[in-house]
Amino acid sequence: MRFSIIYEAQTASPSREDDHRMFREIIEQVRLAEELDFDIIWAVEHTALTMYAHMSAPETFLAYVAGITTRIGIGHGVICLPPKMNHPVKVAERCAMLDILSNGRLHVGFGKGGTEQEAGTFGYSKAELAPMIEEAMRLVPRIWTEEIVEHHGEFIDLPPRPIHPKPLQDPHPPLYMACTQTSTLVDAGGRGIGALVLGFGGPEQVAEKNLVYRRAFANRDPANQVGSRPTEHLAALCPAIVLDDGLKARRIGMRGQRFFMESISHWASAGVLPLPAPDTWPDDLLTQTGDGTNVIETAIGSERFSVDFADPNMALLNPNHAYGTIDDCIAYVERLIEAGADEILFLMQMGTVPHWAQMETIRKIGEHVIPHFRNNV
């Protein structure tokens, strides 16, 4: 089992000063995670998504993380591969350099980005991205392993070129895909690479997705392998706030989850739904109720969530997650492991979650939750 942290770089106050503060806080959290035996620091990549994700240059962030740490892995979760956003030659060069300088600690995920907002920034529409992403993700590991690379595809044309350097890991770093929809799990398994399950659906949906992925991996055609390092690995998202006061942790976590949901809903709806306004949320907002009525539905991939904005209470399809005490977190992580997860992607950095709560969560997971599982293997 691996226990990792994934960062979106969300902020409830998108000023220059708050961006600067947020990244300084993240670096402090990363230093603590290194001390406490977490396995990987993952960074997403998004462009032009105010409040939802300011992690727009993960290659720079991860290079800095590599430089201030000695052990912890660094992961692109994921690199967006539209060629005008990240040309595969530059992706291969940057990743190889980072793998060398981090002494072989790099993990590389591929994807296309989540919204029309991002695709349109580079002159694309989401609907046209899938084939060019597949072409690019097959070309990158070729660049890492072939001395002279030549490619003439539908979207990318590369005359014969020597591309340097080559990565430290031989033949190349392990590869992954961002997977929320069932079709992407089939693709990841069929291509022989890992799956980063980045939805909020919880253990039941992880179990369903695990079956889809394992079946596709087991039945894959070797000729369809992406790269030359088969990687059977399923990582599951685990939103977590862990404090001595379990109720306080749950309230902070659910408030952060609402911020996450409303901010991505804004961009997924092309601005029809408003950005979150947490300053207007009442303090007692997060008293848990049953399924809400008069709901607004949103989706991350194929997962749908219901949020009741009419009632002062909020109802989410799955608001439990690892919000609570150490024992609550252990119990929830156990469910994810039983569902088939090979790696737990802890998510604490949701827009409204204060830095102190993130630091305390990292400390409690590192000192209690991770040892619980490693000592009982």
pLDDT digits (tens, 9 = 90+) for 243-296: 999 989 988 998 898 899 899 989 998 999 999 999 988 765 444 444 433 333
Asked if 274 and 230 sit in the same domain, the reply is: no
Q: Is residue 264 assigned to a domain?
A: yes
Kindly list the distances between the CA atom of residue 50 and the CA atoms of 134, 150, 177, 318, in Å, as whole numbers in the listed order. Answer: 28, 38, 24, 25
Q: What is the pLDDT of residue 316?
A: 38
What would the DSSP string read from start to end of 282-339?
-TTTT---SS-SSEEEEEETTEEEEEE-SSSS---SS--TEEESHHHHHHHHHHHHHT
Asked if 134 and 254 sit in the same domain, the reply is: no
Residue range of the domain that includes 9: 2-241+323-374
Q: Which residue, of 260, 277, 308, is where some domain finishes?
A: 308
Residues of the chain with pLDDT under 50: 285-318
Asked if 367 and 263 sit in the same domain, the reply is: no
Q: Is residue 31 assigned to a domain?
A: yes
Asked if 145 and 222 sit in the same domain, the reply is: yes
User: How many domains would you assign to the chain?
Assistant: 2
Q: What is the pLDDT of residue 288?
A: 42
Read off the pTM. 0.92
Q: What is the pLDDT of residue 320?
A: 64
Burial class of residue 170 in the structure, from the number of CB atoms within 10 Å of its CB (0-12 exposed, 13-18 middle, 19+ buried): exposed
Asked if 48 and 136 sit in the same domain, the reply is: yes
Q: What is the pLDDT of residue 68?
A: 98
What would the DSSP string read from start to end of 213-259?
HHHHHHT--GGG-SSS-----EEEEEEEEE-SSHHHHHHHHHHHHHH
Structure tokens at 30: 């990363």
Q: Is residue 318 assigned to a domain?
A: no
Backbone conformation region of residue 300, classed left if phi is above 0, alpha if psi is from -120 to 50, else beta: beta
CB neighbours of residue 46 within 10 Å: 21
Q: Is residue 313 assigned to a domain?
A: no
Upper half-sphere CA count for residue 56 (Cβ side, 13 Å): 11
Cα 271 from chain centre: 23
- Give the residue among 220, 165, 171, 223 at the shortest CA–CA distance from 195: 220
Asked if 33 and 180 sit in the same domain, the reply is: yes
**Residue 152 is part of a domain; what is its CATH number?**
3.20.20.30
Q: Could you identify the residue written with the tokens 């030359």? A: 228
Asked if 220 and 287 sit in the same domain, the reply is: no
- Give the residue among 262, 288, 259 at the shortest CA–CA distance from 273: 262
Asked if 258 and 235 sit in the same domain, the reply is: no
Q: Is residue 80 assigned to a domain?
A: yes
Pairing outcome for strands 175-179 and 322-324: unpaired
Q: Is residue 278 assigned to a domain?
A: yes
Asked if 9 and 153 sit in the same domain, the reply is: yes
- Give the residue among 7, 98, 96 at the shortest CA–CA distance from 55: 7
Asked if 31 and 136 sit in the same domain, the reply is: yes
Q: Is residue 314 assigned to a domain?
A: no
Asked if 236 and 255 sit in the same domain, the reply is: no
Alpha carbon distance 102, 176 (integer Å): 19
Give CA angle at 107 (101, 110), nearest 5°: 120
Query: Which backbone phi and psi does 305 adopt, to 5 degrees?
Result: -130, 145
Asked if 156 and 255 sit in the same domain, the reply is: no
Q: Is residue 8 assigned to a domain?
A: yes
